[in-house]
Chain A
Amino acid sequence: MMLNGFLVVGALLFALGATGVLIRRNAIVMLMCIELMLQGANVTLAAFSRYLDDQAGFVLVVFSLTVAAAEVAIGLAILVALSRVNPVVNVDQLDSLSG
């Protein structure tokens, strides 16, 4: 069945992204991996929407894309501000907070 193929692709994208967030230490790569997770979710949503012949899922995809765009805008802005005070983007060096 076609549905399963799309779901597997969605799950793979999501899993790749999640793994990346957990093991990569570069902040920009982590941001890209979060995008990958969101795209995996979007593929899943669109596939279900098409399979169920229901428009609600497609609408959710549009919302989710908007959310992703807003998140990236904020995330990159924080990264730029951070790189001014701390030029390295490796998250292991974000260690001034502890206790």
Chain B
Amino acid sequence: MIEPSDIGYVLPEITVLGTALALLLWAAITRGDQRWTSVSLALTGNGLAALFMFMRAPADDAAVQVFAGQLVVDGYSTFFRTLFLILASLAIVFGAQRFSTAPLTDFAALLQFSLLGMMLLVGAADWATALIAIETMAIPVYVLVGLTRFRRESLEAAMKYFALGAFASAILVYGIAWTYGLTGTTSLAETAAGITAHGETPWTLFALGLILVAMGFKVAAVPFHAWTPDAYQGAPTPAAAFISVGPKVAAMALLARVVTLAFEPLAANIAIALAVIAAATMILGNLAAIAQNDVKRLLGYSSIAHTGYMLVGLAAVSQTEETATFIGIPSVLFYGFVYAFMTFGAFAVAYVVETQTGSNDISAFRGLAQRAPLPAVAMAVFMLSLTGVPPLSGFLGKLYILQSAVDAEFGWLAVVLVVTSVVSAFYYLRVVVMMFMQDADEDVPADAGTVPASAIVADTHSAVIAAAAGATVAFGIVGGGLLTWAQSAVNNGLL
């Protein structure tokens, strides 16, 4: 039954939708440079949404089903919605650096629509909600990639991303169709009972396979990763920063719900499938990243590798029974949270270099420590954290994932994780070496080194970089608190 009180639980989503619509109207009537009005509007909306979310967070630690079981409001969805609201706000401030008024308002509106989809996706309790939410998240993102529509690279990236995304969606719908046909229900929770009743037949495995393939595209797992580097390279940098973290983590959140809830009876098969995909993703992502010279492509392959690390955690969850000390899903949540800030920050610094030198080539980072010391230090923090160097948050994230892999007796997967992390140090540290130990190239415009960083990088953009760097350092030092939150989120949602 749909109760009037259900509306209260989706007030955050309604606020985000209202902000998106208001931004579209604003885009139609605005004249002159109104960038900061658009930004303020979006940030106010996101702030209000966060307020509504924490006001109506289920007080008694119980998950609340709303809209006749279509959506669930629980600690798990609150954890991710908090992350997405922060990321979207950072991305809009980032966008204000890159775009003039009209494209910025479009950018902010599309971002808010995508944010709405992500917020619904992490609370999806039914295949119908999951389908609509995943498309609400993905369709604005295709446009974001192609937003600079006079650049051929941007449109080409949008076309590739769109074609593979739509292909994945079609596979997802077909997988949902089979799951529904075999179980007779569209509810994620009841799907498990239906599958248990039906038993492990080729048909249930077929349905599971289709859904895993579709989700593999969305999280950019090997062999469904080909769109990632192209999309990041061609997209305007603020859009690339957002899509490399938001939709990927949201899809990972849904995947965790699907494998631990809907397809729980097939956990043994899922563990094997995810372990193989995770290993392939880590190996290929890290090896391909070594050969990259464009920093956005490098971050693309790096994000593929990090998908692999998160999948290790999910494989471990499917492999073993939940025990008191096992931190399977919370380790994935933790990793998603800290990964988002590291990668977002790296794109923000890449944009600083892009404005200074007009290039995204790694050689453009030469001598950045002299030209712009603070962004260079922040970039070093992000690169070291992505490598997994203590005491930064990326290290803790890998440690927790590794711990759950070992607890699940996935020794070989843990070994692959460690070895590929060592390989990743090669290309991450290469950027650090460029910044601190080499002088600027001759082909960098001569004035790039003389223009003070503050003239190019506005204070707001520095604040975005500082926020990402601060989060990366802080969660490394006080990561236990975030892990506790992730654990209570999982206990209040998934289990």
B156 touches A60 (CB 8 A): no
Q: In whole angstroms, how far apart are the Cα atoms of A92 and B475 in the complex?
A: 44
B233 touches A97 (CB 8 A): yes
If A63-B128, A94-B160 touch, does A99 touch B292 (CB 8 Å cutoff)? Answer: yes
Q: In whole angstroms, how far apart are the Cα atoms of A79 and B156 in the complex?
A: 9
- Tell me which of B168-176, B240-248, B421-429 binds A: B168-176
Q: Let me know if B143 is at the binding interface, CB within 8 A.
A: yes
Q: Mark A45-65, 1 if CB is under 8 A from B, else 0.
A: 101110110101101100110
Q: In whole angstroms, how far apart are the Cα atoms of A71 and B171 in the complex?
A: 14
Q: In whole angstroms, how far apart are the Cα atoms of A46 and B178 in the complex?
A: 11
Q: Let me know if A23 is at the binding interface, CB within 8 A.
A: no
If A63-B131, A99-B292 touch, does A27 touch B159 (CB 8 Å cutoff)? Answer: yes
Q: Which residues of B contact A (CB under 8 A)?
A: 127-128, 131-132, 135, 139, 142-143, 146, 149-153, 155-160, 162-163, 166-167, 169-171, 173-174, 176-178, 180-181, 184-186, 229-230, 233-234, 291-294, 297
Nearest Cβ on chain B to A79's Cβ, whole angstroms: 7
Q: In whole angstroms, how far apart are the Cα atoms of A17 and B146 in the complex?
A: 25
B162 touches A41 (CB 8 A): no
- A54-99 CB contacts (< 8 Å) to partner B: 54, 56-57, 59-60, 63-64, 67, 70-71, 74-75, 77-79, 81-82, 85-86, 91, 94, 96-97, 99
Q: In whole angstroms, how far apart are the Cα atoms of A79 and B149 in the complex?
A: 11
* Residues in chain A near residue B177, CB distance under 8 A: 10, 41-42, 44-45, 48, 57, 60
If A44-B178, A74-B143, A97-B156 touch, does A81 touch B149 (CB 8 Å cutoff)? Answer: yes
A71 touches B135 (CB 8 A): yes
* A-B contact number at CB 8 A: 140
If A48-B177, A82-B159 touch, does A96 touch B167 (CB 8 Å cutoff)? Answer: no
Nearest Cβ on chain B to A74's Cβ, whole angstroms: 5
Q: In whole angstroms, how far apart are the Cα atoms of A98 and B83 in the complex?
A: 32
* Residues in chain A near residue B173, CB distance under 8 A: 38, 41-42, 45, 64, 67
Q: Which residues of A contact B (CB under 8 A)?
A: 7, 10, 14, 17-18, 21, 27, 30-31, 34, 37-38, 40-42, 44-45, 47-49, 51-52, 54, 56-57, 59-60, 63-64, 67, 70-71, 74-75, 77-79, 81-82, 85-86, 91, 94, 96-97, 99
Q: Which of B127, B158, B293 touches A60 (beta carbons < 8 Å)?
A: B127
Q: In whole angstroms, how far apart are the Cα atoms of A37 and B157 in the complex?
A: 23
* Residues in chain A near residue B176, CB distance under 8 A: 41, 45, 60
A75 touches B162 (CB 8 A): yes
A54 touches B155 (CB 8 A): no
B135 touches A70 (CB 8 A): yes
Nearest CB to that of B361 among chain A residues?
A99
B230 touches A71 (CB 8 A): no
- Interface pairs (8), CB distance under 8 Å: A27-B159, A37-B174, A56-B185, A71-B169, A74-B142, A77-B143, A78-B143, A81-B155
If A60-B127, A81-B146, A99-B229 touch, does A67 touch B181 (CB 8 Å cutoff)? Answer: no
B174 touches A60 (CB 8 A): no
Nearest Cβ on chain A to B209's Cβ, whole angstroms: 13
If A63-B128, A74-B139 touch, does A97 touch B170 (CB 8 Å cutoff)? Answer: no
* Residues in chain B near residue A67, CB distance under 8 A: 131-132, 135, 169, 173
